Amino acid sequence: MLNQLSASGLTITEDIAAEDWGWLVAVQRKPFHLWVGCVSQKDDDYRSIPDAWCVFVSAEPSFIQSIWRSKEVQDSLAGVINKVEHILRTNAQVFELHVQAAPN
């Protein structure tokens, strides 16, 4: 995912971070934090099923940015979501892709 995000024109701003929930790929720090998360959905018994992943995009604007710059935040978020979805849809190793909009 990291290489494909870079190839899509996104600038990865720091190393991939291991979080307790999965992996975080930071694509923007300023003017607000914007990142892609990847979470393994494999069940605990590790049967011989293909790996399942949940990939999501998140923006973390400040309170003021969420009010006064909400269009910029939403446009940036939508741009990264579109690139991630394109990467997943065009990858031959990805199957059964389910896209779900975030709740408002």
With respect to residue 81, please indicate whether it lies within any of the assigned structural domains.
yes
With respect to residue 102, please indicate whether it lies within any of the assigned structural domains.
no
Task: Report the C-alpha gap between 38 and 10 in whole angstroms.
Answer: 17
- Residue 50 pLDDT: 63
Tell me the per-residue pLDDT of 76-93, one tens digit each, with 9 for 90 and over.
Answer: 999 999 999 999 889 888
With respect to residue 84, please indicate whether it lies within any of the assigned structural domains.
yes
* Angstrom distances, CA of residue 34 to CA of 11, 16, 62, 75: 11, 13, 12, 12
With respect to residue 101, please indicate whether it lies within any of the assigned structural domains.
no
With respect to residue 99, please indicate whether it lies within any of the assigned structural domains.
no
- Give me the number of domains the chain comprises: 1
With respect to residue 97, please indicate whether it lies within any of the assigned structural domains.
no
With respect to residue 73, please indicate whether it lies within any of the assigned structural domains.
yes
Closest alpha carbon to 59 in 83, 38, 84, 76? 76
Q: What domain range is 26 assigned to?
A: 2-43+51-89
Task: Report the C-alpha gap between 89 and 97 in whole angstroms.
Answer: 7
∠ CA 92-98-104, rounded to 5°: 140
Tell me the per-residue pLDDT of 10-45, one tens digit each, with 9 for 90 and over.
Answer: 888 888 899 998 899 999 888 888 999 998 877 666
With respect to residue 79, please indicate whether it lies within any of the assigned structural domains.
yes
User: Would the pLDDT of 51 be above 80?
Assistant: no
